[in-house]
Amino acid sequence: MKASNKGQDARRYNLPTASEVAAIIPGDETEQVDKRDIVVYVNGGGVRHISDANEAYIPLHFVLLFPYGEAGWHPGIPKTMLSNPQEDIGDGVEEETRDRVEEAVENILNDNEGRDGGNEPQLPREEGPRRTVSAREFVAFRLHARRNISRSRARKGGDRLLRFGRLTEEWIVDVYGTIQAQRLEFHYKNQDKYRAHSFRAVRDAWTSNDVNISNMGRRVILPSSFVGGPRHMHQLYQDAMSIVRVYGKPDYFLTMTCNPNWQEIQKELLPGQTWCNRLDLVARVFRQKKKALLDLIMKQGILGRVVAHIYTVEFQKRGLPHMHALVIMGQEDKPRTSAEIDAVISAEITDKELHPKLYETVTNCMMHGPCGHLNQRAPCTKHGKCTKGFPKPFASATTENEDGYPTYHK
């Protein structure tokens, strides 16, 4: 599939190679879209419409995940500080949640209008510290496997939600849609608190004689605090350009991709699971590895004194998190000669006898190809040649080419 316009990268539309669950949400983050139409089919006939914030929605939709009728997230869950951090929620709370679900289902069945009829759960308006559990906090809590659990939950499986593979992924995607919808709704209802008057285009449109006011909709302004929104991305870009303007161009470009064979991931997988079934575990381990790498470079200074750095994390077509980092060194530690570059960067395959672990890592994770005429279906192959320039020619010394990319000694 080609990009929709010339300003976009066509590779963004390549089919992913990872086995994962995805959702299609109409509109984008700049539009106010209608809420999801969730329909409950009654055994006795007829249908009922409920909200995704109804505590009965999750147990009714994901029956296998919640066989005991535990309530899903709803806006009224209070935050509780337990006296003992290792203490777990007991049977009394479980009975209360089941009662809430049964009451919610009964209200759905007794709803004569077929909809929530104005009783749709609303996000509580709170002043000061939040006293209720948000949807994100609820999901994050349920996604953790806990060993210190009550006897009743041990019988039911304390990590039950992590054992259903594709169904667990579907639940995560579903609740993510709910969380994003709530964030958009918050900004939609708090437009009067933003400095929207600074957007002159809206004001000019209202004062123009050529525009029919009755045909104009309400423009919703998403602030830069909305993660993933256009203003959020533009602000991050401006911050990065400001860092380069002050400290100069980067000296090192680092990449790091999550390895699903890391022992921290493999030892936590449940019987019969692969890394595709535990994307929550993959993300957490990658974050800790990323922090450890940045700590080695920024705080311990293995490359020298670092004056500034920029990094971004994205997810590759294989479904694995991937980091790009730019590092700007102090004047005394900038690599200026070929010898200084060779002391930090090596493009050679290490000796298998002297460095067996490094040799295994390089040959398993750092080798490009086969591509070009050897593999016409490789993503980097175009017109029978590798677009990345592989295989690279052997070089007796490290030099810089006209594009600023060095040719490493190999």
> Which range among 46-60, 113-127, 159-173 shows the weakest confidence by mean pLDDT?
113-127
- Give residue 92's pLDDT: 42
Domain's final residue, options 155, 173, 189:
189
Question: What's the pTM?
Answer: 0.76
- Give residue 7's pLDDT: 59
- Give residue 86's pLDDT: 43
Domain that holds residue 343: 335-410
Asked, for residue 254, whether it belongs to a domain, the answer is no
pLDDT over threshold 90, residue 107 = no
C-alpha 277/C-alpha 37 separation (Å) is 28
| Tokens, residue 91 | 């049977």
Asked, for residue 109, whether it belongs to a domain, the answer is yes
Closest CA to 250 of 404, 397, 407, 408: 404
Asked, for residue 88, whether it belongs to a domain, the answer is yes
In the chain the first and final C-alpha atoms are separated, in Å, by: 37
SS3 310: strand
Asked, for residue 235, whether it belongs to a domain, the answer is no
- Give residue 63's pLDDT: 87
Segment 149-171 mean pLDDT = 69
pLDDT over threshold 90, residue 329 = yes
Strand-strand pairing, 399-400 and 306-315: unpaired
C-alpha 300/C-alpha 406 separation (Å) is 26
| Tokens, residue 4 | 């929709």
Asked, for residue 260, whether it belongs to a domain, the answer is no
Asked, for residue 74, whether it belongs to a domain, the answer is yes
* Tens-place pLDDT, residues 229-264: 888 999 999 999 999 999 999 999 999 999 999 999
C-alpha 32/C-alpha 185 separation (Å) is 8
- Give residue 212's pLDDT: 60
Q: pLDDT category, 116, cuts 50, 70, 90?
A: very low
Domain's final residue, options 189, 212, 228:
189
Phi then psi for residue 86, to 5 deg, are: -85, -5
Query: Which has more confidence, 207 or 385?
Result: 385
Answer yes or no: are the C-beta atoms of 257 and 320 closer than 8 Å. yes
Number of independent structural domains in the chain: 2
Whole-number average pLDDT of the chain? 77
Domain's final residue, options 161, 189, 217:
189
SS3 67: coil
Asked, for residue 328, whether it belongs to a domain, the answer is no
Segment 80-99 mean pLDDT = 50
Q: What percent of the chain has pLDDT over 70?
A: 71
Asked, for residue 1, whether it belongs to a domain, the answer is no
Closest CA to 317 of 383, 254, 379, 369: 379
C-alpha 67/C-alpha 145 separation (Å) is 18
pLDDT over threshold 60, residue 18 = yes
